[in-house]
A and B are shown apart, each in its own frame.
Chain A
């Protein structure tokens, strides 16, 4: 089966610009996560969706970050305006909510550099 897809793989922008990332989860996976991984750190949750509803966005900087999953499949994460500290890898993961293991599968990530 196809894995989690993300695009773009790399993005370089200047501070105060806007950027958007796209994620397509594994088919049938209703739960989708966006994580932020700063260099040298482990990934940290930004937002969790169950179908097209938000389950947890407590760690999302809502003054500049937004995310949506309109049809319960693909998701978009946006940053506007970007700051230098937003430079990181943005990882999308999905899981099947009925799985007794709750195993999460990750995409290749989008590496964002803010200059």
Chain B
């Protein structure tokens, strides 16, 4: 059974810092991995999707990497801003067209 763990559970940083959020999964035979952002009281916004054959994906100040063999992914946020404050969720798809297995998320606060 796939399990996803996110560390740390919460993180508070001053504005402008670069930061890394970690995600690990127990079964390396994944199809893809998605990073989501969730603002309080809102739904999930997809940030980046990495296919199992890819090593990383980039979007603006965000970079996500994937190391399948070690069961790890990282989300790198450059030059953090107060608007980046949210909960970041990592989710794994074990095959095509299947439900995602989520971690509990990392709650990020960027202090101005």
> Which residue numbers of A lie inside 8 Å of B, CB to CB?
4, 6, 31, 33, 35, 40-45, 48, 50, 56, 91, 93, 95, 97, 100-109, 111
Contacts and interface: CB of A to CB of B under 8 A. Distances in A.
A42 B49 contact: no
B100 interface: yes
Contact of B97 (A40, A42, A102): A102
Interface of B: 4, 31-32, 34, 36, 41-46, 49, 51, 89, 91, 93, 96-100, 102-105
Contacts of B98: 48, 56, 102
B102 A43 contact: yes
B4 A42 contact: yes
Contact of A97 (B32, B97, B100, B102): B97
Contact of A105 (B46, B93, B103): B46
B44 A43 contact: yes
Given A43-B44, A91-B44, A56 B96 contact: no
Given A42-B103, A56-B98, A91-B43, 15 more contacts: A40-B104, A42-B4, A42-B91, A43-B89, A50-B97, A56-B99, A97-B97, A101-B32, A102-B96, A103-B32, A103-B46, A103-B49, A106-B45, A106-B46, A108-B43
A41 B104 CA distance: 5
B41 A111 contact: yes
Contacts of A97: 97
Given A102-B96, A105-B46, A108-B43, A42 B34 contact: no
Contacts of B43: 4, 6, 91, 106-109
Nearest to B31: A102
B51 to A, nearest CB: 7
Contact of B104 (A4, A42, A111): A42
Contacts of B105: 42
Contacts of A44: 102
